[in-house]
Structures are given as C-alpha cells and as structure tokens.
C-alpha cells in the first residue's frame, strides 16, 4: 500500500492577490448538487473572509445545515430579501 503525504490545506488560491469578496449565485447550480456546492465554497473561506450567496428563495434549510456543520463559525447577514433573489453575506469568524 502506498502512503500519501499530506500538506496543510490553505484556503483560496496561492497567488497572493486579493480577489475581493466572491459571489456565488446558487440559482445557476443544479438543485441536486446545490447545497454540496455551497458547502464546498464555504470551506474555502478563511477566517475573517466572507462570500455573498445569491439564492432563489430564503435559504432557511441551508442555513440550518450550515449551523449544524459549522456551529457559530459562520455569521449570516441578509443583504436582500426577495422576491426575485435573496442575497446573504456568509462570513467566517
């Protein structure tokens, strides 16, 4: 059996540039993989960073899942509340 070496995971890219606050429009993601995609994007956010999530509805079920997975590490702020889209800032503490 081959042993793989592991290195510490660093969020974001390694270019050193400030790419600003990313925006993820969940409306464009197929429903079957939507939450998994959002969890993946959220895992790339470093402490002190945030992303803007655009959702087709108030994402209360998703927010409950995030709270279960992340505890109090994610702060949620509504920026826009429908009716066409809900925009939220998800900030990692």
- pLDDT of 18-41, one tens digit each? 678 999 999 999 999 999 999 999
Q: Is the residue at 90 inside a domain?
A: no
| Main-chain phi, psi angles of 71, to 5 degrees | 65, -135
Domain of residue 53, residue span: 23-79
Per-residue pLDDT of the chain (93 residues; tens, 9 = 90+): 556 555 444 555 667 666 789 999 999 999 999 999 999 999 999 999 999 999 999 999 999 999 999 999 999 999 999 999 999 999 999
What's the domain count of the chain? 1
Q: Is the residue at 4 inside a domain?
A: no
The rounded distance, in Å, linking the Cα atoms of 76 and 25 is 16
DSSP state of 35: H
The rounded distance, in Å, linking the Cα atoms of 80 and 93 is 22
Q: Is the residue at 87 inside a domain?
A: no
Q: Is the residue at 57 inside a domain?
A: yes
Q: Is the residue at 16 inside a domain?
A: no
In this prediction the pTM is: 0.80
Q: Return the pLDDT at 17.
A: 66
Q: Is the residue at 39 inside a domain?
A: yes
Question: Comparing C-alpha atoms, which of 6, 9, 86 is closest to residue 52?
Answer: 86
């Amino acid at each position: 059996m081959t042993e793989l070496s592991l290195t510490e995971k660093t969020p974001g890219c390694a270019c050193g540039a400030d790419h600003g606050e990313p925006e993820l429009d969940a409306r464009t993601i197929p429903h079957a993989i939507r939450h998994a995609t959002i969890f993946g994007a959220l895992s790339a956010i470093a402490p002190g960073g945030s992303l803007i999530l655009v959702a087709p509805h108030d994402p209360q079920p998703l927010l409950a899942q995030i709270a279960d997975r992340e505890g109090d590490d994610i702060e949620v702020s509504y920026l826009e509340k429908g009716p066409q889209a809900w925009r939220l800032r998800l900030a990692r503490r």
